[in-house]
Amino acid sequence: MTARRTSFIAILLLAVITPCHAEDGYRLWLRFDKVGDEHIRVAYLRQASRATVDGDSPVLNTVAKELTAGLTGLLGQPVPLVAEAGVAPGLIAGVWGASALVARYVSQADVQGLQPEGFLITQKEGQLIITALDERGVLYGAFFLLRHMQLLEPVEGIHILQNPKVKLRVLNHWDNLDRTVERGYAGFSIWNWHELPEYLDVRYTDYARANASIGINGAVVTNVNANALVFRHDYLEKAAALAGVFRPYGIKLYLTARFSAPIELGGLDTADPLDPRVQQWWKKKAEEVYRLIPDFGGFLVKANSEGQPGPQDYGRSHADGANMLADALAPFGGIVMWRAFIYSHEAPGDRAKQAYDEFVPLDGQFRANVLIQAKNGPIDFQPREPIHPLFGAMKKAPLMMEFQITKEYLGQGTHLVGLASLYEEVLQADTYARGKGSIVAKVADGTLYGQALTGMAGVANIGTARNWTGNLFGQADWYAFGRLAWDPYLSADIIFREWAEMAFTHAPAALDAIVWMLSGSYETCVRYMTPLGLHHIMAAGHHYGPGPWVDNMSRADWNSTYYHRADEQGLGFNRSESGSGALLQYAPGFRQQYADMDKCPEQYLLWFHHVPWNHRMHSGRTLWEELCWQYHQGASEVTALREKWRSVKAYIDEERYEQVNMHLAIQEKEARWWRDACLAYFKEFSRMEIPPGLEKPKHSLEYYESLEFPYAPGIRPRW
């Protein structure tokens, strides 16, 4: 290694390890502070007091930078980057088969089982080795080793081989070119399109670091409600500048494709996917994109949904539209992620059925480089939904999971809700598509039907907030998505503990408290918002706060009353065979779990059944009594969250402690608002009193209905 490169890396080290701000959350989980346990620190020094990265490329230079900076911080002394290894025990990183240094220690047998982007960390002849079949794998191995040390795990005798179980691990940004963010609760978009391509904010690099550290390998930087302008040449140059920042961190850039772009940019009179002129326009556009961005990932498409243009405008199918774009990208290795979040202009009998009805008949008609991207549930990121019926039903086209990291329906930017619990619940749910054990995780990783092209997408929750996510605990959701996209079989509690330990403290009492908060917070939120299978009862437009009374929207399925169907007889949407029949879209083994009102798991009872108010629940309470109990229990659990957070004050720096404390105060107030507003409304139908011992709503139903929030964040722009 040249002296010039060594000096350059030393400067980078200073930039990485020298804090410029107070402990405000900017560093996320990448806090490589000195290991406090001297015994462990000395043990690490024996293994990694020097480092060698064999190779010179953008990604391997990133490996060198991240390893030396991270180790220097953790070990509390400079860790030099040396050109040769073997003089003294140290760390060696390089691509197997391309690194002569790695080849001295690692044999073909050692790397047996390695797959693209996977890595091996092992110890041979006193040397600590990170190797992989490609550069990305080396990068992921480097970040894994740093995390291993952050968690104070032993390094001596280490031998870990890991492969990602999902191929495409992608963040979807609902960011507009004017820097507004649809359903964003952490400020404006971090992408400053006006200043690109000349001005590259350091935040872009820090964003890439954070994603690479948890194995995310793709970013869709524009909103699914797409703007064709992004395909204009000057905007493609801006996108190319972002791709250049991402590339050293192994991240591919993707763009959302507006289906009508050939009309809006190309001057054509149609966007019919079977029109040769349209096909040629997209082929030429793909060539232009790849000239500027050789490693461009591909397109994410929202079509014929919520007013977005699509192939159905011309009497064509989703397969026709997706295949036309896939053919344009195929020569360059690009892929199409075609969203299954669709619903027609006609009022449906049951919106939950539409995606299945439109996509299952097309299974087998999509090109090999097309993935169907489906939300975790059949409606729209509700606090709790049953799994989407497409999971397990699509046997040929690969199905890509779409989770929401931003909390559109889960308290938006203020509520603490550990989404790893939601993700785990969905991924472990059984589709019964090929008998018992056909869990959603096997759909996500392709093992259920032997699919090689797999993916998982997460709708990003970051913005210009100094701590990235607004609510500090929102960082745990970003982290959890990355970890589960890498391995969808991980436990939520393991993820919570990893994040808490890296973001806050190693103190056992504080860790236990923070993990307890995260672990129970999802169920708490469901209880005070939409217990027992209720869904889509938020206020209209901004989706902030309760609105079970909403019934004046232009579409039937935009109204809350469409979903809860409260009347004097009972509550809930009958989706059984005697109702809309949506339950019939699932495999027989799944249907058997939910078909009988008396046996249906109560967390989905009102999703699948219209239940009498006096129906006896498992607790012995009537439906009305249980509904009241759930709402009150949820609100009281938020109070318990606040109390638990107070118990860790001595372990947390003041600034971050106060950030969380203030947001918990908002959550406590809003949990009671949800409780009181919903019970005041449903009481009008049950004609029953709040059970003794439970607090009655503080205000009248008319008061709750009168509340307005014209400037609530995350409102969809009117194009």
Q: Which amino acid is at 167?
A: K
Verify cis geometry, omega within 30 degrees of 0, for the bond prior to 331.
no
Residue with tokens 């299954």: 340
Span 133-159, average pLDDT: 98
Count the neighbouring beta carbons within 10 Å of the beta carbon of residue 187.
18
- Enter the tokens of residue 37: 């346990």
Integer Cα distance of 460 and 541 in angstroms? 20
> What does the pLDDT look like over 238-291, one tens digit per residue?
999 999 999 999 999 999 999 999 999 999 999 999 999 999 999 999 999 999
Residue-level pLDDT at 497: 98
State yes or no: is 306 an active-site residue: yes
- Report the percentage of the chain scoring pLDDT > 90: 92
Span 546-574, average pLDDT: 96
If asked whether residues 185 and 154 sit together in one domain, one would say no
If asked whether residues 133 and 253 sit together in one domain, one would say no
Residue-level pLDDT at 83: 85
Span 292-314, average pLDDT: 97
> What does the pLDDT look like over 317-349, one tens digit per residue?
999 999 999 999 999 999 999 999 998 767 678
Residue-level pLDDT at 713: 86
Q: For residue 455, give the 3-state DSSP assignment.
A: strand
The residue out of 162, 188, 220 marking a domain boundary is 162
Count the neighbouring beta carbons within 10 Å of the beta carbon of residue 654.
10
CATH number of the CATH domain containing 552 = 3.90.1330.10
Q: Which amino acid is at 81?
A: L
> Does 394 reside within a domain?
yes
Integer Cα distance of 393 and 517 in angstroms? 36
pTM for the predicted model, two decimal places: 0.96
pLDDT at 142 over 50: yes
> Does 590 reside within a domain?
no
If asked whether residues 451 and 466 sit together in one domain, one would say yes
Contacts of residues 592-600 at CB distance under 8 Å and 24 or more positions apart, as own/partner, are: 594/386
CATH number of the CATH domain containing 32 = 3.30.379.10
Integer Cα distance of 228 and 191 in angstroms? 17
Nearest 10 degrees: Cα torsion 314, 316, 317, 320: -110
Integer Cα distance of 494 and 536 in angstroms? 31
Of 380, 385, 445, 626, the catalytic one is 380
CATH number of the CATH domain containing 465 = 3.20.20.80
Residue with tokens 């139908």: 685
If asked whether residues 431 and 480 sit together in one domain, one would say yes
HEC letters along 534-574: CCCCECCCCCCCECCCCCCCCCHHHCHHHHHCCCCCEECCC
If asked whether residues 217 and 338 sit together in one domain, one would say yes
> What does the pLDDT look like over 381-399, one tens digit per residue?
999 999 999 999 999 999 9
Count the neighbouring beta carbons within 10 Å of the beta carbon of residue 342.
19
Range(s) of the domain holding residue 378:
168-498
The residue out of 139, 162, 185 marking a domain boundary is 162
The residue out of 130, 162, 194 marking a domain boundary is 162
Q: Which residues contact 316 (CB under 8 A, 6 or more apart)?
A: 272, 273, 274
> Does 52 reside within a domain?
yes
> Does 333 reside within a domain?
yes
> Does 157 reside within a domain?
yes
Helix residue spans in 339-408 (DSSP H) = 354-359
Residue-level pLDDT at 706: 97
If asked whether residues 156 and 172 sit together in one domain, one would say no
If asked whether residues 439 and 484 sit together in one domain, one would say yes
pLDDT at 717 over 90: no
- Report the percentage of the chain scoring pLDDT > 70: 95
Beta carbons of 587 and 579 less than 8 angstroms apart: no
Beta carbons of 139 and 162 less than 8 angstroms apart: no
> Does 357 reside within a domain?
yes
> Buried (b) or exposed (e) across 494-533, using 16+ Cβ within 10 A?
ebbbbbbbbbbbbbeebbebbbbbbbbbbbbbbbbbbbbb
DSSP codes, 200-260: --HHHHHHHHHHHHTT--EEE-S-SS--GGGGSHHHHHHHHHHHHHHGGGT-EEEEEPPTT
If asked whether residues 195 and 99 sit together in one domain, one would say no
If asked whether residues 295 and 441 sit together in one domain, one would say yes
Of 33, 306, 313, 493, the catalytic one is 306
Of 54, 358, 408, 445, the catalytic one is 408
pLDDT at 2 over 50: no
Per the structure, how many domains does the chain have? 3
From the list 117, 40, 54, 36, the residue with the least C-alpha distance to 91 is 54
> Does 605 reside within a domain?
no
If asked whether residues 289 and 275 sit together in one domain, one would say yes
> What does the pLDDT look like over 475-508, one tens digit per residue?
999 999 999 999 999 999 999 999 999 999 999 9
pLDDT at 14 over 70: no
> What does the pLDDT look like over 20-55, one tens digit per residue?
447 999 999 999 999 999 999 999 999 999 999 999
pLDDT at 19 over 60: no
pLDDT at 138 over 70: yes
Span 437-449, average pLDDT: 98
Integer Cα distance of 91 and 78 in angstroms? 14
If asked whether residues 208 and 292 sit together in one domain, one would say yes
> Does 242 reside within a domain?
yes
Integer Cα distance of 500 and 603 in angstroms? 28
Beta carbons of 384 and 535 less than 8 angstroms apart: yes
From the list 606, 663, 603, 673, the residue with the least C-alpha distance to 635 is 673
> What does the pLDDT look like over 519-534, one tens digit per residue?
999 999 999 999 999 9
State yes or no: is 37 an active-site residue: no
Residue-level pLDDT at 317: 98
Residue-level pLDDT at 84: 75
Beta carbons of 487 and 432 less than 8 angstroms apart: no
If asked whether residues 428 and 557 sit together in one domain, one would say no
Residue-level pLDDT at 716: 57
